[in-house]
Amino acid sequence: MAYLQSMPKCETIEKREKYIGAACQLFFRSSPLKIVRGIAQFMYDETGERYLDCINNVAHVGHCHPHVVEAGRNQMSLISTNNRYLHDEIVVLAERLVNTLPAPLSVCFFVNSGSEANDLALRLARVHTKKKHVITLDHAYHGHLTSMIDVSPYKLNLPGGPEKPEWVHVASVPDVYRGKYQYTRDSNCEEELGRLYADEIGKICNEASQENGGICAFIAESLQSCGGQIIPPDGYLKRAYEYIREAGGVCIADEVQVGFGRVGSHMWAFETQDVIPDIVTMGKPMGNGHPVAAVITTPEIARSFADTGIEYFNTYGGNPVSCAIANAVLDVIEEERLMERANRVGNHLLSRCEGLKHKHRLIGDVRGRGLFVGVELVTDRETRTPATVEAKHVVNRMREEKILISRDGPDSNVLKFKPPMVFTTQDADRLVDTLDRVLLELGGDWMPMPNLKLEVRVTPISNEVETSEAVIQSSMKQGVKAM
Amino acid sequence: MAYLQSMPKCETIEKREKYIGAACQLFFRSSPLKIVRGIAQFMYDETGERYLDCINNVAHVGHCHPHVVEAGRNQMSLISTNNRYLHDEIVVLAERLVNTLPAPLSVCFFVNSGSEANDLALRLARVHTKKKHVITLDHAYHGHLTSMIDVSPYKLNLPGGPEKPEWVHVASVPDVYRGKYQYTRDSNCEEELGRLYADEIGKICNEASQENGGICAFIAESLQSCGGQIIPPDGYLKRAYEYIREAGGVCIADEVQVGFGRVGSHMWAFETQDVIPDIVTMGKPMGNGHPVAAVITTPEIARSFADTGIEYFNTYGGNPVSCAIANAVLDVIEEERLMERANRVGNHLLSRCEGLKHKHRLIGDVRGRGLFVGVELVTDRETRTPATVEAKHVVNRMREEKILISRDGPDSNVLKFKPPMVFTTQDADRLVDTLDRVLLELGGDWMPMPNLKLEVRVTPISNEVETSEAVIQSSMKQGVKAM
């Protein structure tokens, strides 16, 4: 692949150090990867080495999907101007997105990034409610903009991080493994845990409504990503939303990382919690790498915004190329039945990770929905002490095995998997088998479990690049697996 | 061009009204244009009608320039991932941009929009200076984000606009025609006017330094765009920057609208004022329509930002496709010598508009640099009463003549021309000749001037689509023109 670079890697590094702000950090800083090619769930470095990409939730329908590339190219060669002119691509995209959402979410604003989307969402909330206080979740990350750092404890909590504004209130993240209320310790009932966490929102609402300003909004990812791949307990968002609405605030679902079918069972992750937000933001996967994002809200909130008389103009937002590309991404999700695949492959990945947990003491928790999976490493299952160093080692070892994963959470001890949606069960098996080996290297804490089950998992075949024989062979190679 | 639409225009309008926020306004609201095709300086509606585009400064090197489209397509089909991986396109782009800038501006951050760039610029300024107060110019517009509206009197001044934060200070815009200090009335010396305006900055610095917080930054477009195509008097920015630096603040030049050679004489508009900013932001023309923007600063400021230890990550910022496209735009600016053209065609346009001013009392002022030109309409030259209604009429009549212009300024009475840089002298002549006719229709205020000069302007030929014969014919048709 050397022909896909214009200079040797050492020179790229040298120029990067010279010309790009050091605050822009590289993966694998001591030995960064130079990536020159991407196909589906694979990325290639300048030597032609192939990596299985388990973290790129932006390349949603697969790196360089030809249908998306073609749509971009076609529209780029026709017209790309701003949305002060009429164009079909933008209205088609808007209608299609609205059709994936429950009523009354039906009015769209197109922007260029998830950060811009969340910023606009807060503006809409402020204009609509005329209120002040915003509730966010601990460890949440909603974007790199000034206004988003204000509501992102993921940044605010850092040493040297900016100060939290007084109008921002941080509620505990509904993490039933490591959070304030834990499964088993505090309750064996998920709904009870959901209530406990949601009641914190209620408490903040009460306090803030007594203060000057009132509750403007609650912003939360439907499943928290940077915070450590958190799956909230059943009933959490429903009850939290009730508190917010009672207080006169609006509910913003940040679907930037987890939307567009990643959870498999639904197009939008908030649907897994059986709620309807007032404002939904979406981004990353929307353009398969192209900078496009959106805010979708109710006619009432959109009307409040328009009634200010102040135009909302976003130069590139909703341009025909961005919209054509986003439409092509929707085409692929539908045509290649990627939600069904996310469900199937995600369940396979999750259950295989569960299997690993029964084998390796280092794994404290396994959680996920579809192709959004977290594996939390701990040095001690009782104390749940984060295995941060081990997690770092695992990520680096996996890279040596040509598998790209990363880690997150406040203690950087949660391995995260959020691969392109074309990920196959074979890929999942390769990921888990390799992880198994890497964890074994870390020490002899093999843990024979009492209820070992013989399992040869044969996954039903769809349009993915695998045959039943391949699947069986793969499963046979894995042999006996702990469930 | 009907084949370039997927539904009839009435249906597009209907869906737009239904699905797109009404705060997103259309040009020509009562009869909006549906644009389906763009080539160089022309746009085409769904019936195939061709419009001369005199306002699209985003389609900088011409709509759908094949070299840019090809660069986008190529890179899209290879890889587009985030800048946590090394890639050549980003470092090549950074090096090329830095080479266009004076030292010490040499460290780049890539983002997706001018708004994101200005937001980051303010973050950099805050982290570096650890100070609070920001000075902006009246009528300035720096972006649609919450943080940018805070420093955009263009929005703050509107009825129903948000409240100006106490740390934002608004200095008079250095508009020597309509501003606080006017040419002739207050001084005949441009430098004296520059001093008067800059001294306002000095005054704010004195006041703010006494308050808690100190001066963090001065943010200003090098030539104010939305404010009404303002050309500051000589020496203004130099003196203003001196005050800011004495107060310990940093100077941010917003080149989002006016950069990339539009002024003809220089690549960056701040260079016309002989200053070196501490932070430069760029956007709109950078990707010829593709969402890409940048912040370039000094190693010291970039170091302060990195020293916080907080990573700056922008998902799409600096992705290989955005960078390849921006590199292609730079190629075209160089290869087609578009700065030289902006200078030549811009001077022609400016002098022909000056000619119109001598003929039509409605024209109060003509100003510009390169292909950034403003024609300010007034109902009375003595009182300088803004001819807002007339300006609206002119824009609508020009549209009927298939020429797209727009108007801006706090009174919406400044006709603005900022066409794609491939604009030719023929285009300029067509624009001015049509404007001449439209202004004549508005009333019989033909104004024969005492010093009429015979002029048949023959422009030297370059690579633009015009021949000397065509130019001469065009000039002959125009016949005698007032200078």
Instruction: Give the three-state DSSP class for A335.
Output: helix
Distance from CA of A449 to the nearest CA of B (A): 40
Pairs across A and B, CB distance < 8 A: 340
Residue of B nearest to A56 (CA): B81
Is pLDDT above 80 for B457? Answer: no
Q: Which residues contact A412 (CB under 8 A, 6 or more apart)?
A: A386, A388, A391, A392
Taking each helix axis from N to C terminus, what angle separates B236-246 and B190-210, rounded to the nearest 10 degrees? 20
Are β-strands A250-254 and A215-221 bridged in parallel, bridged antiparallel, or unpaired? parallel
Contact B23 A310 (CB under 8 A): yes
Residue A32 has its nearest CB partner, among B18, B86, B155, at B86
Q: Which of B367, B377, B376 is nearest to B346 (CA)?
A: B367
Distance from CA of A155 to the nearest CA of B (A): 7
Q: Does A255 touch chain B (CB under 8 A)?
A: no
Q: Which residues contact B441 (CB under 8 A, 6 or more apart)?
A: B397
Are β-strands A215-221 and A133-137 bridged in parallel, bridged antiparallel, or unpaired? parallel
Contact B24 A83 (CB under 8 A): yes
Torsion of CA B358, B361, B367, B370, to 10 degrees: -60
Q: A2-61+337-478 has which CATH code?
A: 3.90.1150.10
Are β-strands B406-408 and B414-417 bridged in parallel, bridged antiparallel, or unpaired? antiparallel
Contact (CB, 8 A) for B100 and A116 = no
> How many C-alpha atoms does B445 have within 13 Å on its Cβ side?
15
Distance from CA of B153 to the nearest CA of A (A): 12
Q: Which of B209, B194, B204 is nearest to B171 (CA)?
A: B204
Distance from CA of B93 to the nearest CA of A (A): 9
> How many C-alpha atoms does A83 have within 13 Å on its Cβ side?
34
Contact A43 B9 (CB under 8 A): no
Residue of A nearest to B94 (CA): A19
Q: Which of B224, B236, B244 is nearest to B196 (CA)?
A: B236
Distance from CA of A457 to the nearest CA of B (A): 33
pLDDT tens, position by position, B98-119 = 999 999 999 999 999 999 999 9
Listed by number, the residues of chain A in 39-58 with a beta carbon closer than 8 Å to a beta carbon of chain B are: 43-44, 56, 58
Contact A21 B306 (CB under 8 A): yes
C-alpha gyration radius of chain A: 23
Q: Is A260 left (phi over 0), alpha (psi -120 to 50) or beta?
A: left
Instruction: Give the three-state DSSP class for A252.
Output: strand
ipTM score assigned to the predicted complex? 0.92
Q: Which of B341, B327, B349, B350 is nearest to B422 (CA)?
A: B341
Buried b (16+ CB within 10 A) or exposed e, B389-403: ebbebbbebbbebeb
As beta bridge partners, residue B415 has B375, B407
Contact (CB, 8 A) for A54 and A431 = yes
pLDDT tens, position by position, A359-388 = 999 999 999 999 999 999 999 999 999 999
Contact (CB, 8 A) for B134 and B123 = no
Six-digit token string for B325? 């496209």
DSSP letter at B470 equals: H
Q: Does A65 touch chain B (CB under 8 A)?
A: no
The confidence score (pLDDT) of residue A482 equals 29
Six-digit token string for A287? 């353009």
The confidence score (pLDDT) of residue B447 equals 54
The confidence score (pLDDT) of residue B464 equals 41
Instruction: Give the three-state DSSP class for B290.
Output: coil
The confidence score (pLDDT) of residue A402 equals 98
Q: Which residues contact B469 (CB under 8 A, 6 or more apart)?
A: none
Query: What phi and psi, each to the nearest 5 degrees, are found at residue B372?
Result: -130, 100
Residue of B nearest to A12 (CA): B88
Q: The dihedral of CA A67, A72, A76, A78: what is its sign? A: positive
Instruction: Give the three-state DSSP class for A247.
Output: coil
CA-to-CA dists, residue B254 to A154, B80, B83, angstroms: 30, 28, 24
Q: Does B480 touch chain A (CB under 8 A)?
A: no
Residue A119 has its nearest CB partner, among B6, B146, B155, at B146
B472: exposed, middle or buried (Cβ count in 10 Å: 0-12, 13-18, 19+)? middle
The confidence score (pLDDT) of residue A35 equals 98
Residue B16 has its nearest CB partner, among A66, A82, A91, at A91
- Max Cα-Cα span within chain A: 68
- The letter for the amino acid at B62 is G
Question: Choosing among B26, B28, B33, B76, which should be mutated to test the A contact, i.e. which has the most A CBs within 10 A?
Answer: B76
CA-to-CA dists, residue A60 to A109, A260, A284, A429, B128, angstroms: 21, 8, 8, 20, 37
Of B443 and B198, which is predicted with more confidence? B198
pLDDT tens, position by position, B26-81 = 999 999 999 999 999 999 999 999 999 999 999 999 999 999 999 999 999 999 99
pLDDT tens, position by position, B310-352 = 999 999 999 999 999 999 999 999 999 999 999 999 999 999 9
Q: Which of B34, B40, B42, B41 is nearest to B1 (CA)?
A: B34
The confidence score (pLDDT) of residue B408 equals 95
Distance from CA of B14 to the nearest CA of A (A): 9
Residue of A nearest to B44 (CA): A79
The confidence score (pLDDT) of residue A219 equals 98
Contact (CB, 8 A) for B121 and B107 = no
The confidence score (pLDDT) of residue A46 equals 97
Residues of B in contact with A412 (CB under 8 A): none
Average pLDDT, chain B: 91
Six-digit token string for B424? 């030719």
CA gap B281, A290 in Å, rounded? 21
- One DSSP character per residue, B24-83 reads SPPSSTTS--BEEEEEBTEEEETT--EEEESS-SSSTT-BT-HHHHHHHHHHHHH----T
Query: What phi and psi, each to the nearest 5 degrees, are found at residue B421?
Result: -70, -5
Residues of chain A with CATH 3.40.640.10: 66-335
Contact (CB, 8 A) for A121 and A295 = yes
Query: Which residue, chain included where needed, has tokens 């404007």?
Result: B435
Contact (CB, 8 A) for B86 and A12 = yes
Residues of A in contact with B23 (CB under 8 A): 109, 302, 305-306, 308, 310-312
CA gap B353, B366 in Å, rounded? 7
Peptide bond into A104 cis (omega under 30): yes
The lowest-confidence range among A194-208, A223-237, B242-256, B442-456 is B442-456
Residues of A in contact with B311 (CB under 8 A): 23-25
Listed by number, the residues of chain B in 378-397 with a beta carbon closer than 8 Å to a beta carbon of chain A are: none
The confidence score (pLDDT) of residue A54 equals 98
pLDDT tens, position by position, B258-295 = 999 999 999 999 999 999 999 999 999 999 999 999 99
> What proportion of chain A, given as a percentage, has pLDDT over 90?
88
Please report the beta strands in A133-209, taking only residues with DSSP state E, as ranges in sequence order.
133-137, 168-171
Six-digit token string for A111? 């922007």
Is pLDDT above 70 for B164? Answer: yes
Six-digit token string for B98? 């830095």
pLDDT tens, position by position, A423-460 = 999 999 999 999 999 999 987 555 544 443 333 333 33
pLDDT tens, position by position, A255-301 = 999 999 999 999 999 999 999 999 999 999 999 999 999 999 999 99
Contact (CB, 8 A) for A326 and A286 = yes
Q: Which of A252, A280, A366, A351 is nearest to A106 (CA)?
A: A280
Residues of A in contact with B120 (CB under 8 A): 144
Residue of A nearest to B12 (CA): A88
Q: Does B98 touch chain A (CB under 8 A)?
A: yes
Listed by number, the residues of chain B in 115-134 with a beta carbon closer than 8 Å to a beta carbon of chain A are: 115-116, 119-120, 122-123
- Kind plus residue range of the DSSP H or E element containing A281: strand A279-282
Query: What phi and psi, each to the nearest 5 degrees, are found at residue B50?
Result: -100, 135
Q: How many helices (H) and strands (E) does chain B have?
A: 14, 16
The whole-angstrom distance between residue A251's C-alpha and the CA centroid of its chain comes to: 19
- One DSSP character per residue, A108-170 reads EEEESSHHHHHHHHHHHHHHHH---EEEEETT----SSHHHHTT-HHHHTSTTPPPPPTTEEE
CA gap A290, B319 in Å, rounded? 9
Distance from CA of A357 to the nearest CA of B (A): 30
Q: Does A265 touch chain B (CB under 8 A)?
A: no
Contact (CB, 8 A) for A34 and A51 = no
Residue B95 has its nearest CB partner, among A15, A120, A311, at A15
As beta bridge partners, residue A446 has A360
Q: Which residues contact B26 (CB under 8 A, 6 or more apart)?
A: A84, A85, A86, B16, B32
Q: A66-335 has which CATH code?
A: 3.40.640.10
CA gap B431, B84 in Å, rounded? 47
Contact A291 B79 (CB under 8 A): no
Is pLDDT above 80 for B137? Answer: yes
Six-digit token string for A106? 């039906």
Residues of A in contact with B80 (CB under 8 A): 38, 59, 63-64, 289-290
What is the length of chain A?
A: 483
